[in-house]
Structure 1
């Protein structure tokens, strides 16, 4: 297995039934047996479903529901855009059904919040890795003092649609327990010895860009 080099640009893709659902250009912070750690910043290249993009622009969450309906039929298209508003650092263990994300302000100087994304384990590709976002998220205060579940209604919808299978649901429930235990015991990125709150985007790195067009 080839390790990615620090500072290398990689592409994180969400893939559903063999089709690309989204792509995000990232920089590699570390690549170890414990986790692949990547980051992106405002302006980083991305591609995502057109309905998701419209929902973000219009502030209309019903368009996200339409996007999931399109997802289950395989009838969606992608639009190009850029990452906005935050610097994001992502800790992704290779076989776990979640990633731990740290969101910093746009300048990358202040940890704004933690964000746990529940998703498939990674599958490495020639220029990055594939996963699949399972919709449910956990938002955690920067000091770890409190947290709240996010998008539970949308998760219930994708369960009804069959986008998340019973087996995937069981894996996600196990991942929930793992993450809450990490929070309780202050392990992984939540450890007091981890330098995440003080991490900064490397000023020598250019904003990562996506290569070409997505595979269909």
Structure 2
């Protein structure tokens, strides 16, 4: 199946148990054989692991460790939230163990961000993947790069959240991404176009599909999530 430009889709991170770890509403920019390109803007609806939301609101990164332990135990809850501060452009090849993301502030492209994750499994309303913790952050002009969350990656490996097979796939994906940087392929082939991109102001803010509330249940979303680079 393919998606139409401007269509709302939902990215879901789905644990091997089948339970949803997070959901994020996105807008389709393009859907080609090479990649699905989606975008997000401040105010877009999401659902995050509640402990991640707590880690952000408290400024306590150690709570993220608790979130991973809850994931390993299969005991977590989701908190409603909204994307904040940055615009996001996300490039996801269908079989790749990564996505390439660009984050924008009002002054322009802030940084590139490679998120290592499962290949895409499409649904009628979006796609499923699963974040694999480790990330690569790059300067707007690709002149510098930094590996991020290697400590958390080692921790989730110890917890068994990431299997040996997934670890091997991540290693191969790291090599693939570095080769793309060296060759200036994929999004890196046209950095100028990506640098100039901005959210289309005529697009409504992406919203998640919602079940009808039960009697007495609020329809308001209280939590917010101001990401500094990744939603994870």
CA RMSD of aligned residues (A): 1.0
Deviation by residue 1:138-195 (Cα, 9 ceiling, x = unmatched) = 0000010000000000000000001000000000000000000111111110113761
Partner of 2:77: 77
Partner-residue secondary structure (3-state), 1:12: strand
Would you say how many aligned residue pairs link Structure 1 and Structure 2?
210
Alignment-derived partner of residue 173 in structure 1? 171
State the alpha-carbon separation in 2 of the partners of residues 207 and 133 from structure 1: 24
Corresponding position: 1:9 with 2:12: no
Q: Give distance in 2, aligned partners of 1:75 and 1:192.
A: 43
Query: Where do 1:93-108 residues align within 5 Å?
Result: 93-105=93-105, 107=106
- Does the residue aligned with 1:124 lie in a helix, a strand or coil? strand
Deviations 1:50-100 (A, max 9, x none): 000011111111100000000011100000000011000000000000000
Mapped to 2, the partners of 1:131 and 1:21 lie a distance apart of: 10
Extract unaligned runs of 5+ from structure 2: 212-232
Runs of 4+ in structure 1 off by over 4 angstroms are none
Consecutive unaligned residues of structure 1, counting only runs of 5 or more, are none
How do 1:131-170 and structure 2 match up within 5 A?
A: 131-170=129-168
Distance in 2 (alpha carbons) for counterparts of 1:206 and 1:46? 15
TM-score normalised by structure 1 residue count: 0.95
Listed one character per residue, the Cα deviations across residues 4-29 of structure 1 (whole Å, up to 9, x for unaligned) are 00000000000002000000000000
Which residue in the other structure is 2:46 paired with?
46
